[in-house]
Amino acid sequence: MLRARGREQAPWSGTGGSFDKRIYEAMTSAMRNLVLSDLHGRSPRKILEDISPDRAIFLGDYDEPQLLEEILDLDMDKIVLIGNHDHAWAQGEEVVSMDLCRTPQDYIEQWAQCSRARRFVQASAKTRVGRKKGLRVTRRTTAGTVVYVHGALVSRPDQIPELWGRVIDEYLTGQDLKGNLWKISPARVRANFREMRQNAYSVMIRGHDHSVFVFSLIDARGVEEFRQEARTEGQLEDGKRYILSVGDFKDGNYLLFDDETREFAFRNFDD
């Protein structure tokens, strides 16, 4: 079991709490995954240097096409998914978001000039399920089949669920997007657990909502009996399905996940 030593930091905090490598090295498997989502222009190079994971998994929303190309050039085992922002920019469509540093038109023009990033996003959007890229990526592990997505498995009929699906209700307009201001949507969580059962997925690891959540469901029970867990580290139990929302790396949030021992830990990186 992963255990923190010394001062513990809330995973949604944006300040303080440098990475404690002893926690990471407590994982016993040879396959230690670093999962980052919603980078929104923040480079992962420093955290990759500090942690040196066996595999890096990127769940999308890079915003900057040069950042996506930097990730594609990484000489390491990696999985690279796309987010709703990336898909929109590559299609020449605007996005309304509080995470943008420039005008939507600036992003559209920048993506138009970066053909490699644009082609990667367009190709990924045509791959529904892949091994290294696509709208969703699945991995067979001792924990069962793990599915990685940016959004979710279920969304409105007019949306691509892997890009736009959420497990929360819409945020309060004009309020901070972090922490307790997000309201869980039980209907959306139930719908995703139902879809996980239909696809024989044991674990879904996702981003998009910029919040850290752990939901669990005992296999023998109905989807209405899912639970939201308070823990931010530990080991996934047999006989349960899980949804792990990793938060946004723009504010330093990330997930460590061992897909053999099923150990996980949410942490915050302050470089």
**Which two three-digit tokens encode residue 267?**
């942490």
The percent of residues above 70 in pLDDT, for the chain, comes to: 83
pLDDT of 21 over the 60 cut: no
Q: Each residue of 127-184: pLDDT tens digit?
A: 999 999 999 999 998 779 999 999 999 998 889 999 999 988 765 443 333 444 567 8
Residue 5 has pLDDT above 70, yes or no: no
- pLDDT, position 223: 93
- Give this prediction's pTM: 0.86
The yes-or-no verdict on residue 24 having pLDDT over 80 is: no
- Contact call for residues 241 and 216 (beta carbons, < 8 A): yes
Does residue 15 register a pLDDT over 60? no
- The amino acid that residue 220 corresponds to is A
| CATH fold for the domain made of 21-268 | Purple Acid Phosphatase; chain A, domain 2 (3.60.21)
Q: Burial, 246: exposed, middle or buried (Cβ in 10 Å; 0-12, 13-18, 19+)? A: buried
CB 167 within 8 A of CB 193: no
Q: Could you tell me which of 101, 40, 19 has the C-alpha nearest to residue 8? A: 19
Whether residue 1 has pLDDT greater than 50: no
- Mean pLDDT of the region 55-62: 98
> What is the rounded CA–CA span in Å between residue 187 and residue 216?
14
65 and 56 Cβ atoms separated by less than 8 Å: no
